[in-house]
């Protein structure tokens, strides 16, 4: 199939730079103590260091305590962006003034496609509704040489697995499930747009060296157990925070029994435990998958490297490699699991699920089962589901719950169509949605017409089952009372025939129209299509990644959804004088509090418009009211209204807050928006680490109280000047910083503060933002 594939034409740009990486690995070996064994993830990460000596020897006691301590400055090989987050990533990239991206990159239009009645109707409607955004993305892709996958081409992670991921690759993706690519032996990390820009302009991207959690797999899956159950089980063991600061590396004999796509499912959901990413070593499942996806040359190169002696082996861990922690999972005894509702770590083995449903009084029936998505739409997943549908159809059964299928890409959809799998699923009553995120990201219009039954009203408790990866409240149908239970696609499919949450397809039977009880036999499928992958509709192939300087990036000046970015003002030539306290936040302040999602998502490419939601979830420390701020004259208004008023008057401001300011996500808008509206300092009791970094990147100074009780001494509308900040920035982070607070009655007080600014980050603040600094370097 290689000759017919567009992918084959460009396989060289998709091959990891192995000679360079091997050279870098030997340099790393020379720097580290001779007896220092490396895990697989360490080999790949460290061979992508810009300057191995600087990263591995600074603050690590000469390389003996890298994990958890070193600040890695990395040069990723590639960047992938989804349509929602690509907007701000590209707007930021454009302001750097480069003619093309420094590394290969791709854009995938998947998040903005609604799922309702099926691909044929939904896709054209979504393209119409988002035309200006897709036109912008396509024109920017053409200008800067980024491969553009149009709406309907597929979901970012499936497309990346089929085309770009490869053993030993390091890539960034502007989506939290980017680690899916680790199933094919890549280090793939989910980031915000500003981080992606680092890679796109060839600036080193910084990462605190993760600790390594080893997961040893033993035995072999059989029957109803699937790769999804490995990660559902692990999520239950680790909880949603258990992987924070860790990279998960799988090893052990069980690895050789898994398919490449199964490993991708496992890595995909590593995001649910907070892990930096997850990775599998090169194994027998990878070679046929690379060959079937037209990358036989990469398979051959990788095989050769993986057979090298240990010192030069980039694609396998050293035999003496040590993990910071090890968890063992026996695949032979692993039971199917169901996780949820409302959190992916609430894990219940199938055999116990019905009693838990009764005990917790969860609904005993469910309205919809959804299979596919970026997590679970492989050929193995779909053919295993198909085998169950065939059994049930032969017994005269139809699904009782509405049954939706989301193929992850046009390649997999076209292949399933050719092999009649989709026809089997459709004739049983399944609805095939567009190759896009749809219901997984809340783009799900549930209607009685589409579902063939009344749909629950907002706030009404109900259940659905999906083979997706996330199940936070409101994520799928916008109803926070909808309980989404996560399971393997085969389990979801079988359960749809019962429509009952208490049904166990391994033990229970369903009455057939003839009165005979029907019991499912375990599902069966094929990892790869015997006739190879079909290309599908050629209209969904990507544009080539060749820059065209003559292309004009399309942004309508009247647009409400897109706006060019103006560079932020640099730091003044002295300390800040008389900033004013815009708001004193009481209690929790997450990135959702600072930049709400939901309907605001459509303004992600328009900073002035999305800034209208700034801090609207914040609670006023003086009054207890949410989103009510007071100007100096006492007049009350919303927080963004006051910020806008002050911005117009040239009054810059600070926010005072409590603990863990900015927890929740890497949402960069939560830093961009306050900066756009005139915020210069956030003074908090403590910060969430990722948000603190995002603030620095956008030129906002995060300071913490040296004495927490000083929080009580500052009020809204106080005037705050910094003392020692300018000096400290000039000295690259050295020196004390205080703030002088002028109260309304004219009295003043000094408040000592702390900061975590590194030398590089001081440069961001002085330049006004990391982007300003990058743009200056590009110009020079």
Local structure of 278: helix, strand or coil: strand
Task: HSE, CB side, 13 Å, CA atoms: give it for residue 47.
Answer: 31
Please, which residue, 67 or 108, has the CB nearer to ligand F3S?
Answer: 108
DSSP 443: -
What is the rounded CA–CA span in Å between residue 95 and residue 567?
Answer: 8
What is the rounded CA–CA span in Å between residue 616 and residue 186?
Answer: 39
CB 141 within 8 A of CB 148: yes
What is the rounded CA–CA span in Å between residue 400 and residue 369?
Answer: 10
Measured over the CA atoms of residue 146, residue 147, residue 149 and residue 150, the dihedral's sign is: positive
Q: What is the smallest separation between the CB atom of 564 and ligand F3S, expressed in angstroms?
A: 27
Considering 83, 122, 175, 718, which one is annotated as catalytic? 175
Quote the crossing angle between the two packed helices 770-779 and 193-200, to the nearest 10°.
20
Please, which residue, 155 or 642, has the CB nearer to ligand F3S?
Answer: 155
Q: What is the smallest separation between the CB atom of 237 and ligand F3S, expressed in angstroms?
A: 22
Q: What is the smallest separation between the CB atom of 622 and ligand F3S, expressed in angstroms?
A: 39
What is the rounded CA–CA span in Å between residue 513 and residue 91?
Answer: 59
Please, which residue, 113 or 684, has the CB nearer to ligand F3S?
Answer: 113
Q: Which two tokens stand for residue 769?
A: 């933002």
Considering 67, 111, 337, 691, which one is annotated as catalytic? 111
Q: What is the smallest separation between the CB atom of 470 and ligand F3S, expressed in angstroms?
A: 6
DSSP string, 180-194: GGGGGT-EEEE--HH
Considering 157, 316, 337, 470, which one is annotated as catalytic? 470
Q: What is the smallest separation between the CB atom of 488 and ligand F3S, expressed in angstroms?
A: 16
Local structure of 239: helix, strand or coil: coil
Please, which residue, 111 or 644, has the CB nearer to ligand F3S?
Answer: 111
Catalytic residue at 667?
Answer: yes
Q: Which two tokens stand for residue 359?
A: 């005990």
Local structure of 509: helix, strand or coil: coil
What is the rounded CA–CA span in Å between residue 75 and residue 164?
Answer: 17
Catalytic residue at 111?
Answer: yes
CB 80 within 8 A of CB 106: yes
Burial of 343 (0-12, 13-18, 19+ CB in 10 A): middle
Q: What is the smallest separation between the CB atom of 177 and ligand F3S, expressed in angstroms?
A: 5
Find the length of the chain. Answer: 780
Please, which residue, 468 or 583, has the CB nearer to ligand F3S?
Answer: 468
Considering 259, 466, 595, 665, which one is annotated as catalytic? 665
Q: What is the smallest separation between the CB atom of 182 and ligand F3S, expressed in angstroms?
A: 15
Q: Which residues make beta-bridge pairs with 73?
A: 206
Give buried/exposed letters for 363-393 (b at 16+ CB in 10 A, else e). beebbbbbbbbbbbbbbbbbbbbbbbbebbe
Q: Which two tokens stand for residue 303?
A: 């095989």
Please, which residue, 155 or 496, has the CB nearer to ligand F3S?
Answer: 155
Q: What is the smallest separation between the CB atom of 374 and ligand F3S, expressed in angstroms?
A: 3
Catalytic residue at 548?
Answer: no
Widest distance between CA atoms in the chain: 88
Q: Which residues bind ligand F3S (CB under 6 A)?
A: 110-111, 155-157, 175, 177, 373-374, 437, 440-441, 468-470
Considering 580, 667, 675, 755, which one is annotated as catalytic? 667
**Residues with active-site annotation:** 110-111, 175, 470, 665, 667
């Amino acid at each position: 199939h290689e000759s017919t594939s567009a992918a084959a034409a460009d396989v060289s740009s998709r091959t990891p730079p192995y000679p360079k990486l091997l050279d870098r690995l030997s340099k790393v070996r020379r720097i580290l103590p001779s007896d220092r064994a490396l895990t697989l993830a360490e080999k790949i990460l460290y061979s992508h260091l810009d300057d191995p000596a600087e990263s591995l020897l600074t603050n690590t006691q000469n390389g003996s305590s890298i994990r958890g301590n070193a600040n890695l400055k990395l040069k990723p090989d590639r960047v992938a962006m989804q349509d929602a987050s690509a907007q701000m990533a590209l707007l930021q990239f454009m302001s750097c003034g480069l003619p093309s991206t420094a590394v290969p990159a791709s854009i995938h239009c998947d998040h903005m496609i609604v799922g309702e009645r099926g691909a044929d109707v939904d896709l054209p409607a979504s393209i119409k509704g988002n035309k200006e955004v897709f036109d912008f993305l396509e024109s920017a892709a053409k200008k800067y040489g980024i491969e553009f996958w149009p709406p309907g081409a597929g979901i970012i992670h499936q497309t990346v697995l089929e085309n770009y991921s490869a053993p030993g690759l390091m890539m960034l993706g502007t989506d939290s499930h980017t680690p899916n690519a680790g199933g094919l032996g890549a280090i793939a990390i989910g980031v915000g747009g500003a981080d992606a820009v680092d890679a796109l302009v060839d600036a080193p991207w910084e990462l605190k060296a993760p600790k390594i959690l080893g997961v040893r797999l033993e035995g072999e899956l059989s029957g109803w157990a699937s790769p999804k159950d490995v990660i559902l089980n692990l999520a239950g063991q680790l909880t949603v925070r258990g992987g924070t600061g860790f990279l998960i590396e799988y090893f052990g004999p069980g690895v050789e029994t898994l398919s490449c796509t199964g490993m991708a499912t496992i890595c995909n959901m590593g995001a649910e435990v907070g892990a930096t990413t997850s990775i599998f070593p090169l194994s027998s499942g990878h070679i046929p998958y690379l060959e079937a996806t037209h990358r036989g040359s990469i398979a051959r190169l990788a095989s050769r490297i993986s057979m090298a002696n240990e010192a030069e082996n980039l694609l396998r861990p050293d035999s003496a490699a040590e993990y910071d922690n090890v968890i063992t999972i026996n695949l032979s005894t692993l039971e199917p699991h169901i996780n949820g509702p409302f959190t992916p770590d609430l894990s219940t083995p199938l055999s116990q699920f019905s009693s838990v449903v009764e005990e917790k009084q969860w609904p005993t029936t469910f309205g919809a089962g959804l299979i596919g998505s970026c997590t679970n739409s492989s050929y193995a997943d779909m053919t295993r589901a198909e085998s169950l549908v065939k059994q049930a159809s032969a017994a005269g059964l139809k699904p009782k719950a509405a049954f939706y299928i989301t193929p992850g890409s046009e390649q997999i959809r076209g292949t399933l169509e050719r092999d009649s799998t989709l026809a089997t699923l459709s004739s049983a009553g399944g609805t095939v949605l567009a190759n896009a995120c749809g219901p997984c990201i809340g783009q799900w219009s549930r209607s009685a017409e589409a579902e063939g039954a009344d749909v629950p009203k907002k706030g009404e408790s109900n259940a659905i089952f999906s083979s997706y990866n996330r199940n936070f409240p409101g994520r799928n149908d916008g109803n926070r009372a909808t309980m989404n239970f996560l399971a393997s696609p085969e389990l979801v499919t079988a359960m749809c025939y019962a429509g009952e949450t208490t049904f166990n397809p391994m033990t229970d039977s369903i009455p057939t129209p003839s009165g005979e009880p029907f019991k499912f036999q375990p599902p069966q499928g094929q990892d790869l299509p015997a006739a190879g992958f079909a290309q599908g509709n050629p209209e969904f192939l990507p544009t080539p990644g060749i820059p065209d300087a003559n292309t004009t990036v399309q942004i309508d000046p009247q647009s409400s959804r897109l706006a060019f970015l103006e560079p932020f003002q640099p730091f003044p030539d002295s300390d800040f004088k008389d900033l004013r306290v815009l708001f004193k936040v009481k209690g929790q302040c997450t990135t959702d509090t600072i930049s709400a999602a939901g309907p605001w998502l459509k303004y992600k490419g328009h900073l002035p418009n999305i800034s209208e939601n700034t801090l609207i979830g914040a609670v006023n420390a003086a009054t207890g009211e949410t989103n009510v701020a007071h100007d100096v004259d006492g007049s009350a208004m919303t927080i963004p209204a006051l910020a806008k008023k002050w911005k117009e008057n040239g009054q810059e401001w600070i926010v005072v807050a409590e603990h863990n300011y900015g927890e929740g996500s890497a949402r960069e808008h939560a830093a961009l928006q306050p900066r756009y509206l005139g915020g210069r300092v956030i003074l908090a009791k403590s910060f969430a680490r990722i948000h603190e970094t995002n603030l620095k990147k956008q030129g906002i100074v995060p300071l913490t109280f040296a004495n927490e009780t000083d929080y009580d001494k500052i009020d809204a509308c106080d005037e705050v000047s910094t003392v020692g900040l300018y000096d400290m920035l000039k000295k690259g982070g050295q020196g004390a910083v205080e703030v002088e607070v002028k109260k309304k009655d004219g009295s003043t007080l000094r408040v000592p503060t702390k900061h975590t600014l590194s030398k590089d980050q001081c440069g961001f603040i002085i330049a006004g933002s990391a982007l300003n600094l990058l743009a200056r370097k590009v110009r020079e």
